[in-house]
Structure 1
C-alpha cells in the first residue's frame, strides 16, 4: 500500500509527472508498475498527440481549458508545448483568449493554481504565504484585478496572486458562479493597510531579493504603489512602466543617443488623454505622472486634430480604448510620413486602437504596424504584410530573469531601457521588409504622439 501511494502521488504531482514518458526503469524505481498502461511514449510523441488534439477544438477558450488541464497534470510537457509552438499557442494562453478566460473564470474554474489573499485574511497574510508549498520563490506577480487588460474590473478572476478587496463590476457581483468577495471595492486606509501587510510579509517570508511585479492595477493605485515601494522592495509594474513609461523610455533613449538633456527630449513626445492633448494650460488639473508631458501648445480636445497639429512620426496607443485610430487619423499621419509607425498596443483584440488591415489599407500599404494582440497577415495591392506583435510580454519575463540572475535589489529605468534595446536588436532587415520593424522606433528624431493615458 505504501508503494502504491508513492507512485500514485507522483502521477498527480504536475511538477514531476511525465505520464507515459516514464521509462521501464523509472516505473520500477518510483512504484509505478500497474499505474500506467504498458506502452512508453516519448515527450515528443506526447507533444504531437496533444497538438493534434488541441487543433481539433474550434473555440479558442476550449483550447485554453485544454492547456490549463495539461498544466495541472504535467508542467514540463505544458512548457515544452509552449516553447515549441509559441506562435500558435501564445494567442491562447495570452491575449486575446486569456481576456475571455478572465471574464468567464468563475464558470471555468476547476482547480486553484494561484494564491488568494482577501480582506478575510487581513492580519494573517504571512500565514497565507506560508501555505504556499514552494519555499524558494524568486518572482511574484500580484494583482488586485481592477484593470485587467482593456476589460476593466474583473475582481478575483485572474492569477497568480490576487489581492481580493471586492469588485465594482455589477455583473460579477450578481453572477452566481463568481468566486471572489461579493462586495464593492475597499479603498483608502483599509486597502493600503492590506497591501502594506502583503508587501511586508513577502519580504519576511521570501527575503530581500524577491521580485514583485504589480500587474493590472488601476492607474490611481498603480503609480502610488510603485512610487511607495520602489525604494524598499524589488518591484516593477509592466503596465505603467511600459504604458506612460513608454514615453519616458523613448525620451531617455533619445537623450542617450543625442547627448541632449532628457528635459528637452521629452518635448518631442506628446500625449493625448480622454480630454485631449496634454498641454501646459492643463497642468494644475493633471495627475502627477502626466505633468512632465504638458508642453506649450493651444488646447486640442481630440486625437485627430492633435495629429494634424503635431504631425507625429509615430502613433502609439496604450489607452485600452478600442478603435481610436480611425481612418481619418491614420490618413492624417500617413499624409506627412513616408513610413508612418503605428503601434496599436491595447489588449485584447477588441480594444486595439485599429486592426492590422485598417492600418495597412488606410496608409496605402506604407505603415509599419505592430499591435499588442496578434493579427493575421494582410494582403494589400498584391503584397502580403505581416503585422508585428509589440507586447510587453516580450520584455518582462526576461526582465524578471535578468533581475534574478544579477542579484539586483532595486529596479531602475535604465534596466528597462537596456531590455528594450536588446529586444529591438533582435529585429532583422527581413522583418523590416514585411512592414513590422520596431527597432526604428528609437532612430526617429521627430515628434511622437503616444495616445497612452
Structure 2
C-alpha cells in the first residue's frame, strides 16, 4: 500500500499542491491536499511573496529552509529564478550567523550525515543511512574548524556543507538527489560551544594527530565503498589539515579542497580578467598576498603555477611573490613557517631594512606590488595610505580584498576606487554594489568561489574524471574569460553572479574537454558538451 504521508514528507517526492488529480488518485493523496492544483510557477510566486514578508536575512533563510525541507524541486526553482537575491541568503554572508545558531534553531538534519570520531566504526552505515537509498555522486564534507572567517564552530559547520551543495545545484544543475553533506565531528576548541547546553556536537577538545587522520582516512574509504567514484569536496578544514588531506588523496581519487584550491582559481580568474582590461602581461606582475593561511597559500600556488604555464623559470617565478602575515613580510628565518609558506619566503639579504618590514604599509613601500590580495580577515587593513602607496607605482593596481563576511573585509570597493582615482581593478569577497565615480559606473567583481566550484564539479562529474589535477583547475580559471567586455569603462574583472548558470556550463565543458585530453575521463565520454548537458538536472516536476 502506498504511504501518502511518506510521499508528502519526502522532499524529493513531494510536489505539494502541484500533484495532479490523476497523481493524487494513484498515490493515495485524495483528500490530503486542497482541491486547487497549482503549477510550479504559481507555487513559486506564493513562496517568493512569503519570503519578501520576512524581515531580515536569518528569518528569510529560515523560511527558505522550510521549503528546502519539504519540497526540494520547488526550492531550487525559486532559488534559480531569484539567484542574485537569494544566493547571499542561502549561503554567504547569511550562512555565518546560521552556522553560529545551528544548534539553537535545529529542526531537521537536511539529509546530512553526522560522523563522530567517538564512533568511528559506524561511518559507512551512517553514510548509507543518510543517503537513504540514493546513489551519491558528490559529497561536501567539513570538520567545522575554519568556518568563513568566524573560526571553529564544530558540528554546527554542517550548515556550510548544506549551503555549498545548494550552490552546486542552483548554479550548475547538479541533481540534489545525488549529493550528500557530511559533518566530521572531531570535537571543538570553541569553549563557547562546549559550555552551550544546546550545542549538538561532541563536547570535548578537537582530536588531533594520528587519531584525527585515521578518522579522516576511514571516512574517505567508507565513502568510496558506499558510493564508488564519488567526488569529495572538502570545505573549511583547519589550515594545516586542509593541505595535508588534499596532498594525501589527490593522486588517488577525485578530490577538491575549496579553501586551498577554489579561492586560488577564482583569484587567478580575477587577475586574468583584470589584465584583459589593463592589457598588461601576467608574467610582469608582482604579487603580494596579505594573509598567508590556507586560502592565501592556495592563491599563491595557483598564481605561481600560471607563471610556469606562461613559460617562466620556477625560481624566477617565485621572485614575483611576497607573503605578508601577522609578523610582516615572511622571511626564511621567520619562526613557525608552514610547509606551504616556505617555498615563497624571502631572504633578508634582499632588503637593507628587513627588520622594519613588519607591517603592510612598509612592505608595500619596499616591494611595489602590482597585485594585492587580502585573505587576512583583518578589517580595514588596506588603508588609504597603503592603497595610495601601491597606486603610486603601478598604472592599474589590482586589489582584491576577499576576506568575508562583510565585517572582516580589508577594504571596501568604493574607497579603493576613490583612493586610486578610478584606476584600481577591484574584486571583493562579498557582494559589492557598483561604484559611481567621476561619471563612470565601476562594476565590482565578486571573488566568490561560487563562480568556480559548481562548474568544476559539474565537469568532474560529467567526465567521470578519475582525478582532479592542476590542468582541470587551470581550465576552470581560464573559462571565465570572454564573458565580460574589457573595453567597457568600469568593466568588472569577473563575470557577475547574475550570469552564474550560463558560465558554469561553459566552465564545465572546458573541464570535461581537458579531462578527455588528459585521458582521465571515462572512455564513454567523447563529447564534452553532450556529456555536460546530459548531467544537468532541471527544477521541474
TM-score (norm 2): 0.76
Following superposition of structure 1 onto structure 2, how do residues 383-394 of structure 1 map, counting pairs within 5 Å? 383-394=440-451
C-alpha displacement of 1:25: 2.4
Following superposition of structure 1 onto structure 2, how do residues 355-370 of structure 1 map, counting pairs within 5 Å? 355-370=412-427
Residue 316 of structure 1 is matched in structure 2 by 373
CA distance in 2, matches of 1:135, 1:79: 19
1:193 aligned residue (183, 199, 214)? 214
1:268 aligned residue (320, 324, 327)? 320
Residue 184 of structure 1 is matched in structure 2 by 205
Residue 8 of structure 1 is matched in structure 2 by 5
- Answer yes or no: is 1:130 the counterpart of 2:128: yes
1:230 aligned residue (243, 247, 250)? 250
C-alpha displacement of 1:256: 2.2
Residues 236-286 of structure 1 show CA distances to partners (whole Å, capped at 9, x for unaligned) of 2110123222222222223323x223432232222212211123444x742
Which sections of structure 2, spanning at least 5 residues, go unmatched? 159-180, 265-294, 496-541
Residue 151 of structure 2 is matched in structure 1 by 152
| Secondary structure of 1:417's aligned partner | helix
Residue 139 of structure 1 is matched in structure 2 by 138
CA distance in 2, matches of 1:426, 1:137: 32
| Secondary structure of 1:142's aligned partner | strand
- Answer yes or no: is 1:437 the counterpart of 2:489: no
Following superposition of structure 1 onto structure 2, how do residues 9-88 of structure 1 map, counting pairs within 5 Å? 9-88=6-85
Residues 152-205 of structure 1 show CA distances to partners (whole Å, capped at 9, x for unaligned) of 000110222111111111111112221111111111222122112111111221
4+ runs deviating over 4 angstroms: none
Which sections of structure 1, spanning at least 5 residues, go unmatched? 440-453
Q: Is the 8 A contact 2:147 2:236 kept in 1?
A: yes
C-alpha displacement of 1:324: 1.7
Residues 71-127 of structure 1 show CA distances to partners (whole Å, capped at 9, x for unaligned) of 001111111111111110111011110011001111111111211111232122122
CA distance in 1, matches of 2:109, 2:78: 22
Residues 347-369 of structure 1 show CA distances to partners (whole Å, capped at 9, x for unaligned) of 21112111222222322332221
Distance 1:227 1:331, change over 3 A: same
| Secondary structure of 2:252's aligned partner | coil
| Secondary structure of 1:213's aligned partner | strand
C-alpha displacement of 1:380: 3.2
| Secondary structure of 2:196's aligned partner | coil
Q: Is the 8 A contact 1:129 1:205 kept in 2?
A: yes
| Secondary structure of 1:270's aligned partner | strand
Following superposition of structure 1 onto structure 2, how do residues 350-429 of structure 1 map, counting pairs within 5 Å? 350-429=407-486
Residue 446 of structure 1 is matched in structure 2 by none
C-alpha displacement of 1:435: 4.3
CA distance in 1, matches of 2:89, 2:77: 15
The CA RMSD over aligned residues, in Å, is 1.9
TM-score (norm 1): 0.90
Q: Is the 8 A contact 2:484 2:491 kept in 1?
A: no
Residue 445 of structure 1 is matched in structure 2 by none
| Secondary structure of 2:140's aligned partner | strand
